[in-house]
A and B are shown apart, each in its own frame.
Chain A
Amino acid sequence: MKEYFREEWVRIRHNPLLLLFRILFLALLLITGYARWAVMLGASIFAVGLFHSSEAEFMLPLSEEAIMARKRVRLNMVALRFAIFGLLAAAADVFVFRYVSVELLNQNYLLLTQRPLMSAAYFVLQMAVVYVSLLEMMIGGEKLKKLLGRFGNIVFDVIPKLGFFIFSFILLNEPQHMVQTDKELAYAALYVILALLNLTGILIVLKNWKCGDFSPARV
């Protein structure tokens, strides 16, 4: 684990602009009350640098167990990341609902009350991203890239991030509305589906997690 975070730090350190962009965006979302999205983006500041399977990984001067452990950790981190996303986002929603004003909560639900088509499209895209991530875990990144093709890879990589950005600016200036119970239930139903997907991620982690410290000095 220590090695994972060491490699992540190296990656973040070499992408200061990317890190700055994410931190600024995170601050923007927090200020506007989008606690849920803010928490999700906060978790994604841990870049996905290790979530790949380049050929070099399999040629490293490590024992076979260590190489396979690195692969499992990479796969598990994808599942774990989305599991964390879901859990923290759910916690944020609960916190906002119980301890913050309903009006502030309404900003989070504004997607449904004001822009139903956009919000529906956004949720579909969000769940598609989660599905694709799970598919990546099952068939591997390289096979998935071939499956999606160049356009597909761009869609699933760029558009969700762009979506975050566009939605927050569009909705910053929207007037507030009262929460409508049936729409609130619809949102909850969509969220349950998302949470179940994240639960799948947790189960995969528990099933595959066998490694401990896999630093080269130990194997």
Chain B
Amino acid sequence: MEAWFQCRQLTKVLDGYCIRDIDFGLEAGRVLGLVGTNGSGKTTLLRCLLGSYRIGENEGDRGDIELDGKHFQRDQQEFRQSLACVMQAEPFYGLMSASEVGQRYGYFYRGFDLKKYMGLLKTYEVPARQSISTLSAGQAMRLQFAFMQSHEAKLYILDEPVGNLDVEFRETCYELIRELSSKGEKAVILSSHLVTELERIADTLLWLYREGDTGRQRYFGETDALRDRYRLLSTDRTREELQKSGIGEEMIAGCRLRPTHSEYLLYDAEGFSEERLRGTELSGARCADLQEIIYYTEKGEER
């Protein structure tokens, strides 16, 4: 059965870079965390979902995106009415002021509440009449939050929204995400490098990685299920000694080797269960958090 939001085999070719075969779905009421190293294609993917990158304009482009039965190209207008976003790179024209943004772009969104927007600008302490290019990075981000909240959307897409925010507003942002996803008929896609914070809030994860000039999908699924597939083993044994004790090379997803003490990230596609670990060499391995999983996997072997 198709998910409420579905992205099927999305491939987007750009000049010198592409993302390939990105496939994931999302149900209403959920938060999808989008993670990956720099250059893995997170922002490219989000731009494809939002329409600023057009699927089909370059040779090799393909894929389908649907939200609540609306196709991203056949029902473009309705599809985009259901989207709201906060982008890492300010999408509005720099010489516009915040109030102009509301007046000129809010016009296109059904049910856009200009009064609410102006109120949120005041609450978030964003100068309404100053041009965007003169705002601080944090103010420009809060402007986008105000715009995002001022019309009724179904899918909220946030690309690295908290990097330039102070701690207080960061918590406001996470609270807002929880509130939006709790309503049942909405969902959030959140891309962030702050993986420890993302882990608190995302119940589903899409993990991208970079292979040469291509962004690919490494994992899509429940965050808990991903954690179950990994364990972190701290030991003074060498790689060769571990292999002799039954921990195969294919199980080692990454490691940090030191002369006296090393750490190994172990991977099992079926997941590590307590029964399986008991009495084995792996009984000393602990659960790895998301940051460790991503770090060790991307780093490979570190000496």
Contact = CB atoms under 8 A, between A and B. Distances in A.
A59 B51 contact: yes
B52 A63 contact: no
Contacts of A63: 76-77
Interface in A173-199: none
Given A59-B50, A61-B81, A10 B104 contact: yes
Contact of A219 (B51, B77, B80, B107): B77
B100 A10 contact: yes
A55 B91 contact: yes
Contact of A56 (B91, B95, B129): B91
A54 B91 contact: yes
A58 B49 CA distance: 12
Nearest to A53: B93
Interface in A34-81: 49, 52, 54-56, 58-64
B79 to A, nearest CB: 8
A14 interface: yes
Contact of A59 (B85, B100, B107, B110): B85
A56 B51 contact: no
Contacts of A7: 104
Contacts of B73: 64
A62 B108 contact: yes
B52 A58 contact: yes
Nearest to A7: B104
A54 B103 contact: no
B172 to A, nearest CB: 23
Given A10-B100, A49-B95, A59 B52 contact: yes
A59 B80 contact: yes
B219 interface: no
B120 interface: no
A59 B77 CA distance: 10
A113 B197 CA distance: 71
B111 to A, nearest CB: 11
A56 B100 contact: no
A216 interface: yes
A22 interface: no
Contacts of B105: 56, 60
Contacts of A52: 93, 95
A56 B76 CA distance: 15
Contact of B91 (A10, A11, A49, A59): A59
Contacts of B89: 55
A58 B85 CA distance: 13
A10 B103 contact: yes
B97 interface: yes
A216 B93 contact: no
A54 B50 contact: no
Interface string A9-28: 01100100000000000000
B51 A58 contact: yes
Interface string B89-124: 101111111011001110111100000000000000
A84 B6 CA distance: 49
B87 interface: yes
A61 B95 contact: no
Interface string B141-167: 000000000000000000000000000
Contacts of A10: 100, 103-104
A62 B77 contact: yes
B80 A61 contact: yes
Interface of B: 50-52, 54, 73, 76-81, 83, 85, 87, 89, 91-97, 99-100, 103-105, 107-110, 129
14 contacts: A7-B104, A10-B100, A11-B100, A14-B99, A14-B100, A49-B93, A54-B92, A54-B93, A55-B87, A59-B91, A61-B76, A61-B79, A62-B80, A216-B107
Given A54-B92, A58-B54, 13 more contacts: A10-B100, A11-B96, A14-B100, A49-B95, A52-B95, A54-B93, A56-B105, A59-B50, A59-B85, A61-B79, A64-B76, A216-B107, A219-B77
Q: Top 8 closest A-B pairs, CB basis?
A: A61-B80, A55-B91, A54-B93, A56-B91, A61-B81, A58-B52, A52-B93, A59-B50
